[in-house]
Amino acid sequence: MFTGIIEEIGEIVNIEREKTNIHIDVKSTLTKDLKIDQSVAHSGVCLTVVSVNNEDNTYRVTAIDETLQKTNLGKMEVGGKLNLERGAQLNARLDGHIVQGHVDQTATCINAEELDGSWTYRFEYDSKQQNVTIEKGSITINGVSLTVVDSDINAFSVAIIPYTYEHTTFKHLAKGDTVNLEFDVIGKYVKRLLEVKENS
């Protein structure tokens, strides 16, 4: 489990393809505290650390085909930036919201605007999967826990404060870019319960 509070921005330094999978080497100062089999969220995607190289501060994770199909990881290149978060500790404050690290679908940034010290971003996604947002509800974008400003059937906006802008990959995000979305887990359970009730 994660909280959506980003610890650091990591850099992709190597990508190796093996059949339908890819191995990603990430450079990060978090490396010294990582161990094999540990879970780390990479721009919202929970991946397992498979090797650690403390000499150059890099570690490796593997993304399988299903992950590549549902996220933006397959579009990443060497030099790309990733929002990193280690698993939540049970004795810590939950400063963001409950994040599973399971991306529901991707979205496209359709507008990015600076507003005299803050930024607003608007995203559009395929509504056929019936995921929903609500105003003032929680949404995870590339692993970042955020509050929805306004909500439509297939689009929503978020506001970014300067600290979040500087300490996440939002400062690299532009119109047309693809992002990972994880919708609020509570909302997903409510939606599922309503579907079961309708079909019973």
Q: Do 111 and 194 fall into the same domain?
A: yes
Q: Where is the domain boundary, 56, 86, 116?
A: 86
Q: Do 133 and 190 fall into the same domain?
A: yes
Q: Do 69 and 33 fall into the same domain?
A: yes
pLDDT, one tens digit for every residue, the chain (200 residues): 899 999 999 999 999 999 999 999 999 999 999 999 999 999 999 999 999 999 999 999 999 999 999 999 999 999 999 999 999 877 777 777 889 999 999 999 999 999 989 999 999 999 998 899 999 999 999 999 999 999 999 999 999 999 999 999 999 999 999 999 999 988 777 777 777 777 77
> In angstroms, rounded to a whole number, what is the distance separating the alpha carbons of residues 25 and 72?
16
* Structure token pair of residue 39: 């879970």
Q: Do 188 and 157 fall into the same domain?
A: yes
Q: Where is the domain boundary, 33, 53, 86?
A: 86
In a domain, residue 122? The reply is yes
Quick one: pLDDT at residue 145?
Answer: 97
In a domain, residue 96? The reply is no
CATH number at residue 155: 2.40.30.20
In a domain, residue 46? The reply is yes
Residue whose C-alpha is closest to residue 63's, from 55, 53, 75: 75
Q: Tokens 């990582």 identify what position?
A: 34
- 160 and 6 Cβ atoms separated by less than 8 Å: no
Q: Do 191 and 112 fall into the same domain?
A: yes
In a domain, residue 91? The reply is no
* Structure token pair of residue 197: 């009730």
Quick one: pLDDT at residue 139?
Answer: 97
Domain that holds residue 172: 105-199
| Predicted model pTM | 0.92
> In angstroms, rounded to a whole number, what is the distance separating the alpha carbons of residues 193 and 38?
32
- 82 and 42 Cβ atoms separated by less than 8 Å: yes
Q: Tokens 């559009």 identify what position?
A: 124
In a domain, residue 129? The reply is yes
> In angstroms, rounded to a whole number, what is the distance separating the alpha carbons of residues 60 and 118?
34
> In angstroms, rounded to a whole number, what is the distance separating the alpha carbons of residues 135 and 141?
15
In a domain, residue 176? The reply is yes
